[in-house]
């Protein structure tokens, strides 16, 4: 697996595969194949793809540690950028189709007023804002400028993003009382975050046990 992950074709292939959902939605919009309410389909689909890429990004570390796929780490930042890409598309779809951005001169003012009025939009927008500094610092130059320790600390904000994203999805589905998909994503993210807590506890216990020997 590591050999395949290190192959020069792997990163470009993952990049193209991650763009396929966007291409499918774009083609569907152009050819009027998004159902009776294409605007809502685009809003829903872009949000769900942001959640899926968030799950994939958070799965990198557990898979790398559990299976020894060290080379998987080279794809993590790309996957993280796709989380931001689809989350930004999700927000833009809301802004354009729900709030008339680009058609109404006062759309931005309406958006600013609308965000705090609806809790599910507020937490979704908060998640997008938290993703912004992560996207802006997902480059080697940013890591060098911040230093590895501060960079890692900053990127732990993704855990808060995960919690806000699930809450956003939950509140969005609450009106229809449709929680099946919410439960699936919530369970996946809880498992991925729970693994990190357990892994940190195991490493701390190992360090405590090793301390007397070093002394």
192, 58 Cβ separation under 8 angstroms:
yes
Burial of 162 (0-12, 13-18, 19+ CB in 10 A): buried
Q: What is the pLDDT of residue 101?
A: 84
DSSP state of 1: -
Question: 101-129: per-residue pLDDT in tens?
Answer: 877 778 889 999 999 999 999 999 999 99
Report pTM. Answer: 0.92
Q: What is the mean pLDDT of the chain?
A: 91
**Comparing 16 with 1, which gets the higher pLDDT?**
16
pLDDT of residue 214: 55
Assess whether pLDDT exceeds 90 at residue 57.
yes
Distance CA 182, CA 170 (A): 6
**pLDDT attached to residue 187:** 95
What does the DSSP assignment read for 5-22? HTSTTHHHHHHHHHHHHH
Q: Let me know: does 174 contact 166? Beta carbons within 8 Å.
A: no
pLDDT score recorded for residue 209: 74
- Are 116 and 122 in contact, with CB atoms under 8 Å apart? yes
């Amino acid at each position: 697996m590591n050999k395949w992950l290190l192959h020069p074709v792997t990163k470009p292939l993952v990049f193209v595969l991650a763009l396929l959902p966007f291409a499918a939605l774009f083609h569907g919009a152009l050819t009027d194949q998004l159902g009776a309410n294409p605007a809502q389909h685009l809003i829903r689909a872009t949000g769900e793809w942001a959640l899926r890429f968030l799950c994939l990004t958070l799965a990198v570390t557990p898979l790398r540690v559990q299976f020894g796929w060290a080379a998987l780490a080279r794809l993590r930042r790309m996957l993280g950028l796709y989380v931001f890409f689809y989350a930004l598309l999700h927000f833009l779809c809301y802004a354009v189709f729900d709030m008339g951005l680009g058609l109404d001169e006062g759309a931005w003012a309406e958006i600013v007023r609308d965000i705090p009025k609806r809790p599910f939009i507020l937490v979704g927008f908060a998640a997008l804002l938290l993703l912004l500094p992560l996207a802006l610092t997902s480059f080697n130059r940013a890591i060098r400028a911040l230093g590895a320790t501060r960079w890692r600390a900053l990127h732990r904000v993704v855990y808060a993003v995960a919690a806000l994203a699930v809450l956003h999805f939950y509140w969005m589905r609450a009106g229809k009382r449709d929680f099946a998909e919410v439960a699936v994503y919530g369970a996946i993210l809880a498992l991925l975050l729970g693994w990190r807590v357990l892994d940190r506890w195991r490493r701390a216990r190992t360090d405590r046990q090793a301390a007397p020997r070093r002394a």
